[in-house]
Amino acid sequence: MQNTDRIWAIVDDKREAYLKLSDDIWGMPELAYGEYRSVAEHRKMLEAEGFAITDAPADIPTAVIGTAGSGGPVIAILGEYDALPGLSQEAGIAEPRPLPGNGFGHGCGHNMLGSAALLAASALKDYLAENGLPGTVRYYGCPAEEGGAAKAFMVRAGLFDDVDAAITWHPAAFTCVDTAGSLANTRIDFTFTGRASHAAAAPHLGRSALDAVQLMSVGVNYLREHVPADSRMHYAYLDAGGIAPNVVQAHAKIRYAVRSRDVHAMKSLNERVIKVAQGAAMMTETQVAVQIISAVSNLLGNTPLEETMYGAMQRLGPVPFSEADHGFARDIQATLGPDDIDNAWRAVGVSAQDDAALCDFVVPLGTTGEPMIGSTDVGDVSWAVPTVQARVATHAIGTPGHSWQITAQGKAGAAHKGLIHAAKIMAATAKDLFADSALLERAKADHAGRVGKMPYESPIPADVMPPLQPKPDDL
């Protein structure tokens, strides 16, 4: 459609710099709380755009906040830039081909997420100044969404106390307003300590921490039958006690992710999982130390904000993919199974189009399917302030999240076009909020109604700090 909205023209004027930012972040993948290069690139862009910068908010060195404008309302635009382990991949290639190096990769598209969010914030800053309008736009550079819960720590630190509304997005296979479905999630480490001994000569003197971990896993597996259907429990061995089978393992460590439909159900389930761990320690005469690493809340929706964002999507239309974009997407789809593609259509709730490799439409607001629900620390922001999130098509339909295929598509033409589209959607949504105080009041009333008599309470205990990573020596 004809781009007649001034805010979109400002986005277009800035596009090349932010496409480069996204590609640069793709090329320096960093894990949770280790995003020193990535945050430095975002900081340089904020400085170049004239934002007032807050370094290390909430004492997180890989977070940054940029503020522009004055007065109210205060609209937050949320960005992310963390990568994932094990998803290194050459760009633009439809076959697994890891790059040399540490094996990290942007397998969830956060290189695009942060760049588009910063582009939207920058366009809003210029729009407010150009029109002499009151209001404050604030960009939140948020690390560690992948399991680190940085936004939850930032909310707990009061960094959203003066915010009127928050806007964000996520790369996706379809363009739609997010349905605000997510699970509350806690990551808990269980460290078992026993007694070493010779496994053959004196097994009776040993107390196996590895046995305790295995018994805990058995107990949790039996627990699965007796929890709500939407609960999830996953685990990873962090320390199996060594590589010598002839030594009774004196130490072992396992991390659990415990998910449930909301914070209250999650906390109840946490207690049950902890009791299983304590039982395993009792059976093996070992000791167990329980440490919460991070936690996030479930997402809350907001009808006025969702309707406003959908209006922006309708005015803008679908992402304008080229035939070359569709061709590469078809190559990616050839690496997938039919269930991957079928599940993607069923998740979004629209009828499958057999020849569609990329989404060339906007999913109608209110469409429901069979969503594949995960967790996000955007949930904690949504409990603190009215929040809305877009999903914007950037990759082939059916591409699994957290896959090498996402990394492979992260610098492609479709990713670039989706990034710019997302920035326009967020900027237009925020512009409407700046222009219509009644809309913002309706959003706040909707938020208050959803929170009800259960105001936000951080799911992270007060004594738990972010698991910060040291700055690399070569920076």
DSSP, residue by residue, 223-291: HGGGS-TT-EEEEEEEE-S-S-TTB---EEEEEEEEEESSHHHHHHHHHHHHHHHHHHHHHHT-EEEEE
- Contact between residue 420 and residue 116 where contact means Cβ atoms under 8 Å apart: yes
Report whether pLDDT(1) > 70: no
pLDDT tens digits, residue range 286-342? 999 999 999 999 999 999 999 999 999 999 999 999 999 999 999 999 999 999 999
Q: How far separated are the first and last CA of the chain, in Å rounded?
A: 45
Report whether pLDDT(120) > 80: yes
At residue 367 the predicted structure's pLDDT band, cuts being 50, 70 and 90, is very high
- Among residues 361, 315, 310, 307, the alpha carbon closest in space to that of 4 is found at 315
**φ, ψ dihedrals at 232, nearest 5°:** -140, 145
Report whether pLDDT(4) > 70: no
pLDDT tens digits, residue range 33-85? 999 999 999 999 999 999 999 999 999 999 999 999 999 999 999 999 999 99
What b-and-e string marks burial along 13-38, b requiring 16 or more CB atoms within 10 Å of the CB? ebbeebbebbbebbebbbbbbbbbbb
Q: Mean pLDDT across the stretch 441-458?
A: 92
Percent of the chain with pLDDT over 90: 94
Please tell me the predicted confidence (pLDDT) of residue 454: 78
At residue 2 the predicted structure's pLDDT band, cuts being 50, 70 and 90, is very low
Q: Mean pLDDT across the stretch 253-269?
A: 95
Please tell me the predicted confidence (pLDDT) of residue 474: 80
Collapsing DSSP to helix, strand or coil, 75 comes out as: strand
- Contact between residue 169 and residue 117 where contact means Cβ atoms under 8 Å apart: yes
At residue 360 the predicted structure's pLDDT band, cuts being 50, 70 and 90, is very high
Q: Mean pLDDT across the stretch 467-474?
A: 92
* DSSP per residue, 297-327: PPP---HHHHHHHHHHHHHH-S----HHHHH
Collapsing DSSP to helix, strand or coil, 76 comes out as: strand
Structural domains of the chain ordered from first start: 6-181+299-451 (3.40.630.10), 184-295 (3.30.70.360)
Q: Mean pLDDT across the stretch 450-456?
A: 86
Taking the C-alpha atoms of residue 300 and residue 450, their distance in angstroms, rounded to an integer, is 7
Please tell me the predicted confidence (pLDDT) of residue 181: 87
At residue 89 the predicted structure's pLDDT band, cuts being 50, 70 and 90, is very high
**φ, ψ dihedrals at 263, nearest 5°:** -60, -40
- Contact between residue 251 and residue 311 where contact means Cβ atoms under 8 Å apart: no
At residue 234 the predicted structure's pLDDT band, cuts being 50, 70 and 90, is very high
pLDDT tens digits, residue range 390-420? 999 999 999 999 999 999 999 999 999 999 9
Taking the C-alpha atoms of residue 269 and residue 6, their distance in angstroms, rounded to an integer, is 49
